[in-house]
Amino acid sequence: MSDRLLAATRKGLFLIERTGRKSVPWEITGISFLAEHVIMTLPDRRDGSIYASLYHGHFGSKLHRSTDQGNTWTEIAVPSYPKQPEGEVQKDMWGRTIEWKLDRIWALEAGGRDEPGVLWCGTLPGGLFKSTDHGSSWSLVESLWNDPRRMEWMGGGADLPGIHSVCVDPRESQRVTIGVSCGGVWVTNDGGTTWDCQANGIWSAYTPPEQKENPNVQDVHRVVQCRSNPDALWAQHHNGIFRSTDRCASWQDVSHLKSVSPTSFGFAVAVHPGEANTAWFVPGVKDEHRLPADGKVVVARTRDGGATYDILRNGLPQDHAYDLTYRHGLDIDESGDRLAFGSTTGSLWVTEDQGDSWQTVSQHLPPIYCVRFV
Amino acid sequence: MPHVVFTDNIQRHVACPPSTVGGGTVREVLDEVFSTNERARGYVLDEHGAVRKHMIVFIDGTMIRDRLSLSDPVLPDAEVYVMQALSGG
């Protein structure tokens, strides 16, 4: 079980630790980059290092690495896009020019246990980068960037399209699955040499009917993969919840959450590391509202692959709560018993019993973008 | 030789002390500054060497015109002032 937790926020990176005290079971014990915009963090369980991505409005995106649990940090390289070929202009579906420049980092994941130092980085405007030296240098995955199907991608949650999820298959590190808003789910089986868009079965309610089942325009908000059964993946999509049990060859709509909840919209999803049928979601009223239904914060849990859902609310605010949880704002530890989620209004909750009850860590943090167990 | 000054705001992230360097264009002047302070380059310029969207460079109080190639001429006794825009942050 993990006793440590990181929360990347609008005003810094917070370390939270389990105290063992009944009165204050989890407390904030460290702050890095106070006042800075920390949009992503990665605790690398292979070597204990921690990465933090800072998004300076004026000075661009930066990456920092700590090898001493966040006590000290070293700035490392950020992904850089190559120069665009002379005379070539790329425009998105709205006619806006897509510049070959790093806008921001939106996903940061460790490679497999058999490839120390390998990191994957998803970015806006849609480039995937790989490092083989702990982030000291980065290479654009050109096979994906140069795929003409990328030009169908569009912004989802931002003006530019972006890669927000990277899942490395624990059995075979060369198998990598990514999620794109908006560009569906893409899979490589050869470490990024070739890619295929594998979102068949996912459908959109927001596009013209002719585009409804186009896998390459799906606004998949978040994709996660079960550690013990990597053929099982879950996706929180713009208009529902989808599940694959054949490693993205097909997806099934399991938005039955609507039978017990006013909504199946949301951003975040977590899957139990040992039970592929068990997953958690933080639902909110859909896109134009982005609020908890009826001002009540709840977590939805399924234990049967999405056939039924429990609505969990014990310990969560049930009166005038307007917390929204972003796509990286929910995490589960390696035991599968502890989960944590944070909100745009600075609330952070932890459960030690798979969501049956929740403890409030804070209701006064800056807006939380990313929560991860160390 | 041109004198180069950076806004205080950037010093929170990377030290950029005032310096006097050679060079006859903004590109040449900044390249010389960054040759001994490589980390600062990425805070002022993007990956293609253009001035970041929310950064501004002045020569003797006048904003440069060429933000992509940084070709504006810099006289030997000029002051080059690098600051962040009030937007963007």
In sequence order, what are the beta bridge partners of A252? A243
ipTM for the predicted complex: 0.89
CA distances from A100 to A39, A105, A124, A183 (A): 21, 14, 10, 18
> Residue B88: is its pLDDT beyond 60?
no
Structural domains present in chain A? 93-253 (2.130.10.10)
| Kind plus residue range of the DSSP H or E element containing A107 | strand A104-110
Q: What is the pLDDT of residue A365?
A: 98
Q: What is the pLDDT of residue A158?
A: 85
> Residue B86: is its pLDDT beyond 90?
no
Residue A193, both tokens: 């040499």
A335 to chain B nearest CA, in Å?
Answer: 38
The SS3 assignment for A87 reads: coil
**pLDDT tens-digit map of A183-231:** 999 999 999 999 999 999 999 998 889 999 999 999 999 999 999 999 9
pLDDT above 70 covers a percentage of chain A that reads: 100
d(CA A341, CA A112): 25
Q: What is the pLDDT of residue A258?
A: 73
> Residue B44: is its pLDDT beyond 80?
yes
d(CA A129, CA A362): 34
Interval A276-293 mean pLDDT: 91
Q: Which range is least confidently modeled, A48-52, A237-241, B84-88?
A: B84-88
Residues 4-33 of B with CB under 8 A from A: 9-10, 13
d(CA B53, CA A254): 43
Q: Which of B39, B42, B48 faces A60 most closely, judged by CB atoms?
A: B42
**pLDDT tens-digit map of A47-69:** 999 999 999 989 999 999 999 99
pLDDT confidence tier of residue A173, bands split at 50, 70 and 90: very high
d(CA A369, CA B11): 26
| Kind plus residue range of the DSSP H or E element containing A124 | strand A119-124
Answer yes or no: do A81 and B55 touch at CB < 8 A.
Answer: no
- Cβ-in-10-Å burial (0-12, 13-18, 19+) of A68 comes to exposed
First to last CA, chain B: 32
Q: What is the pLDDT of residue A144?
A: 98
Interval B33-54 mean pLDDT: 96
Structural domains present in chain B? 3-84 (3.10.20.30)
pLDDT above 90 covers a percentage of chain A that reads: 87
> Residue A168: is its pLDDT beyond 60?
yes
Nearest to A235 by CA among A137, A318, A165: A165
Contact A67, A124 (CB under 8 A): no
User: What is the DSSP code string of A143-183?
Assistant: HHHT-GGGGG---SSSSS-EEEEEEE-SS-TT-EEEEEETT
Q: What is the pLDDT of residue B87?
A: 65
Q: Which of B38, B52, B55, B69 to mutate to test the interface with A (most CBs of A within 10 A)?
A: B52
Q: What is the pLDDT of residue A287?
A: 80
Residue A108, both tokens: 């940061």
Please, what is the average pLDDT of chain A? 95
Q: What is the pLDDT of residue A257?
A: 75
Interval A352-372 mean pLDDT: 98
CA dihedral A66→A60→A158→A49, nearest 10 degrees, is -10
B67 to chain A nearest CA, in Å?
Answer: 15
First to last CA, chain A: 10
Q: What is the pLDDT of residue A296?
A: 96
pLDDT confidence tier of residue A156, bands split at 50, 70 and 90: confident
The SS3 assignment for B14 reads: coil
More confident residue, A90 or A162: A162
Interval A104-124 mean pLDDT: 97
**pLDDT tens-digit map of A88-103:** 888 887 788 899 999 9
Residues 82-111 of A with CB under 8 A from B: 83, 100-102
| Kind plus residue range of the DSSP H or E element containing A6 | strand A4-9
List of chain A residues whose C-beta atoms are within 8 Å of the C-beta of residue B67: none
Interval A227-237 mean pLDDT: 98
Q: What is the pLDDT of residue A22?
A: 87
